[in-house]
Structure 1
Amino acid sequence: MNNQIFALIAAAATGLTLNLGAAPAPASDSWPGFRGPNRDGKSADRGLLKEWPAGGPQQLWKADGIGKGFSSVSVAGGKVYITGDKEDKLMLTAFDLAGKKLWQVDAGPPWTRSHPGSRSSATLDGDNLYLLSGTGVLGCFDAATGHKKWSRAAADYGGRPGGWGYAESPLILGKMVLFKPGGNSCIVALDKTSGQEIWRSSGFSAGPEYSSCYAFAWGGKTMVATGTKAGVVGVDAASGRLLFQNDFSANNTANCPTPVFSDGYLVWANGYGKGGICLKLSPEGKAQEVWRTANLNCHHGGFIIEQGHVFGNDGGGWVCLDLKTGEKKWSERAVGKGSLCWADGQLYLFGENGGQAALATCSPQGLEIKGRVQVQGNGPSWAHPVVTGGRLYLRYDDNLYCFNVKSP
């Protein structure tokens, strides 16, 4: 998906029964939430370095002590936002583009059980930030000051966290903010300004798991897909009514990645030996399974769709698959198991252990490393790399790095 398609989603939403409202396409130099402007792992940046110098790109700044966590940065309006657990609190921090801390606020109680640390990435929309805590509290914060405007608890909708807490990042769609309490009201849409309920999903019941909601336009309809404990589901964006459900990866140890859609095909994948699945969607939202594969064993790091191919994490390395057939084109170790994003025709890979990131070609013909950079901290790190405004942001443990990747 690109910004043009994002605008089409908003336009389609405007005509829906509930008048979701049109949202402006994100600026090309912004990354307003998890996996980018369209939640597909792809940046609008252009004019970036095609190869890094020895030792990596120029480091512009480093912020340490941001707190323990696994969340990724969000960038917009000249500010960089990140979460982390410090002193038994979930902290939400804002920096300016020079790395100067602007403010830091207590965003609620942290998740203290299995794998403590912040999970959800903040989602920016205009003057507001939306954040879901590991304990299941969705908060709306003032993006300029960090002041909390309202909050809602997943438990109020009958939700219960999985074994690793709540980890999704809220989705803004027109006038709504979506999140997943789980249970009979698996997905809930709230008015993003007031926090009042608009709809609850219907037609299925499932645990929330750790996948985020993903919106896309197809056949004149706006749909929302996400992973759950019962598999992958798709609902109508206007009502929450179930459109499709597939039990692939149901009752897996953990279902973390967010689905991605392109040209009629929806791809979802998970770790713990599950691999990936591809569904072909009708304009009405019916889903037909096209292929399954063990070659997209993706734990946390995600995948992108480009040039009719899927590029993503596969166990201890990386893989490229044909979108329509699932045929494997290549597999490489590169930086090992990790996360990725795409910008200006290239892949940015970030290893979850060892703190190494790499620039690589994005081609079905093979993977070629074009540079590496090393950061410090203690793994594992499940944050995704972010490229926006000519900069690469890497969060590793309680350290945040910013590099210049703009071509001279």
Structure 2
Amino acid sequence: MGGRRRQFVGTSVRLTGVLRFAIICYSASPRQRSIVDCRAQGKAISAANFGRDDMRFKAVASLALVGVTVLFAACRGEAAPRQASDKPAFKPEAKQMRVWTDDTGKFKVRAALVQVGETEVKLRRTDGTEIAVPLERLSQADRQWLVKVTGSGGVAAPGEWITFRGPNRDGRSPDKGLLKQWPEGGPPLLWKVDNIGQGYSSVVVSGGTIYITGEINNKLIIFALDMDGKQKWSVEAGDAWTVNYPGARGSPTIDDGKLYVLSGHGVLGCFDASNGRRLWQRTAKEFGGSPGEWGYAESVTILDNLVIFKPGGANCIVALDKHTGKPVWTSRGFTAGPEYSSCLAFNHDGLWAITAGTREGIVCVDARNGNLLWANNFSANNTANCPTPVYSDGYIFWANGYGKGGICLKLGPRGTASQAWTTHDMQCHHGGYIIDNGYIYGNNGHGWACIELKTGKTMWRDRGVGKGSLCWADGMLYLFSESRGQAALATCSPEGLEIKGRVQVAGSGPSWAHPVVIGGRLYLRYDTNLYCFDVKAK
């Protein structure tokens, strides 16, 4: 889901750092001890401890001196400060003082929300000082409250990949501490399953469960696997798409214990994520929509209480109540075929908006009511517009294949946008692109390219593994070819692409699933097979 960047970071804390932490804890005033920012060995670490009173906190600090493993769990931070997410546009109640509780329920602090970062929240205490708390240390109630006030569909827990292209729908994983070089033959294989049916959808991971869809006997099947690849349950989700590249298309989206998936025929189903029980369903046809030549391939978007998808037609984009499936709004001001990309929810200048690729080009609507904000006919009437737009630093980038290339739009105030540049050096059929430190990396024809976000300057072109899909994790690119099951680890730098390891997986036909890196694992889906590799640094 756009707007929910999460990172799960482990940090190595030396014993001297633990001693300094304890000293600071004892010297601080009781209110200041609730969450302490410490410095150990010249590196910043975050230590989240909620203290009810002075005696309780001293006991915690004492335990810190002898229970180093507890601090490892509490001090998951980076050496350098992380940039806060620009996504959440807080609702008024977000600024109010409230009591925050840790995940054990034992420790509390009274504070107001300031920012939501990639892996932490910044809070302002009653004395005016600001503190950072890892998301993983918050109680479930606090996480749910964040969903409410930020308008996000979910605050993904560490190790979760809750929708297509990740929690932020930007192809970026929150993982840290991963291999920078693969051994010969690729990273260790943890397991493989070969019975998930035919398809092009990617895995999502939530609550210790892996979800994937596939086509078996002309039916769309949702599979739920445990973390060892063993099936927990499976359920039919209607008829599968059986013409023009048969198989599953859209990936599931997980939110608040529910699973949402759109079939190739445009049937949107909501299921209980714990057992697959169908809760409600709607169809694109109800809203006047019809599939393109290759069926619906969208993964639905969750924003606050809305589930958003793209039937196409006069009601091109539709928002439903995610609990009931009842319509909330339909887009206005344009008519367009749905094409094959997914919607992206983003916040710019305090306004939540939904952008998506369509048959008539790229459009953007107000997330509150579906009113058209802006549109651009770039890539209109193309053979197929498949990739999902991406947002970064006030820019929207969208690229397509079949000789079209990409367009970058600079966003202005009050829901406006102007064309910044176009390029032919990001001819992206299906595999997408990521943005990192002001540069776009993505599929370009039969290879890969890097382009500067704000100028459109091409930095390099490289063959890599050939045409395919990608994701980003821990400063590296994970490339997955659409043919012959080739995958690779590569550097992510405007200076050039360097392959740091390769692996081969089995399957037949084109592979249009995207690689997923989450929880220290690499998931590769090719045809009816799903592979899980261990990519954690040892």
TM range (shorter): over 0.9
Match of 2:273 in 1: 143
Match of 1:51 in 2: 181
Work out the CA distance in 2 between the residues paired with 1:208 and 1:181: 6
Aligned match of 1:393 in 513, 523, 532? Answer: 523
In the alignment, is residue 98 of structure 1 matched against residue 178 of structure 2? no
Match of 2:59 in 1: none
Aligned match of 1:5 in 85, 96, 101? Answer: 85
Matches within 5 A, 1:239-254: 239-254=369-384
In the alignment, is residue 113 of structure 1 matched against residue 193 of structure 2? no
Match of 1:191 in 2: 321
Match of 2:215 in 1: 85
Work out the CA distance in 1 between the residues paired with 2:91 and 2:245: 40
Aligned match of 1:370 in 483, 491, 500? Answer: 500
Work out the CA distance in 2 between the residues paired with 1:384 and 1:99: 18
Match of 2:449 in 1: 319
Work out the CA distance in 2 between the residues paired with 1:22 and 1:124: 13
* CA RMSD, 1 decimal: 1.7
Work out the CA distance in 2 between the residues paired with 1:298 and 1:321: 13
- Opposite residue 31 of structure 1, the aligned amino acid is W
In the alignment, is residue 40 of structure 1 matched against residue 170 of structure 2? yes
TM-score calculated relative to the size of structure 1: 0.97
- 1:161-198 residue CA offsets vs partner (Å, 9 max, x unmatched): 10101000000001000000000100000000000110
In the alignment, is residue 335 of structure 1 matched against residue 465 of structure 2? yes
Matches within 5 A, 1:231-270: 231-270=361-400
Distance 1:111 1:211, change over 3 A: same
Match of 1:229 in 2: 359
Larger fraction in helix: 2
Cα offset for 1:5?
2.7
Cα offset for 1:20?
8.9
Distance 1:210 1:84, change over 3 A: same
- 1:106-165 residue CA offsets vs partner (Å, 9 max, x unmatched): 110011121111000000002100000000000001101011110001000000110101
Q: Which of the pair has the greater relative contact order for Cα pairs under 8 Å at 6+ separation?
A: 1
Work out the CA distance in 2 between the residues paired with 1:11 and 1:337: 42
- Contact 2:152/2:302 (8 A) holds in 1: no
Match of 2:489 in 1: 359
Aligned match of 1:71 in 195, 201, 212? Answer: 201
- Opposite residue 32 of structure 1, the aligned amino acid is I
- Contact 1:13/1:238 (8 A) holds in 2: no
Match of 1:293 in 2: 423
Does the residue aligned with 2:156 lie in a helix, a strand or coil?
coil
Work out the CA distance in 2 between the residues paired with 1:162 and 1:343: 33
Work out the CA distance in 1 between the residues paired with 2:149 and 2:336: 27
- Contact 2:214/2:248 (8 A) holds in 1: yes
- Contact 1:14/1:22 (8 A) holds in 2: no
Distance 1:9 1:20, change over 3 A: closer
Does the residue aligned with 1:107 lie in a helix, a strand or coil?
strand
- 1:238-265 residue CA offsets vs partner (Å, 9 max, x unmatched): 1111001000000000000000011111
Distance 1:12 1:390, change over 3 A: farther
- Contact 1:357/1:374 (8 A) holds in 2: yes
Distance 1:169 1:13, change over 3 A: farther
- Opposite residue 98 of structure 1, the aligned amino acid is D
Match of 1:173 in 2: 303
Work out the CA distance in 1 between the residues paired with 2:360 and 2:211: 32
Cα offset for 1:341?
0.2
Match of 2:142 in 1: none
- Contact 1:7/1:24 (8 A) holds in 2: no
In the alignment, is residue 406 of structure 1 matched against residue 536 of structure 2? yes
Does the residue aligned with 1:81 lie in a helix, a strand or coil?
strand
Count of residues in correspondence between the two structures: 406
In structure 2, the gaps of 5 or more residues are 7-83, 96-147
- Contact 2:154/2:255 (8 A) holds in 1: no
Distance 1:268 1:126, change over 3 A: same
- 1:291-326 residue CA offsets vs partner (Å, 9 max, x unmatched): 111110000000001110100000000000010111
TM-score calculated relative to the size of structure 2: 0.74
In structure 1, the gaps of 5 or more residues are none
Work out the CA distance in 1 between the residues paired with 2:536 and 2:335: 46
Work out the CA distance in 1 between the residues paired with 2:85 and 2:91: 10
- Contact 1:355/1:379 (8 A) holds in 2: no
Cα offset for 1:26?
1.3
Cα offset for 1:6?
7.4
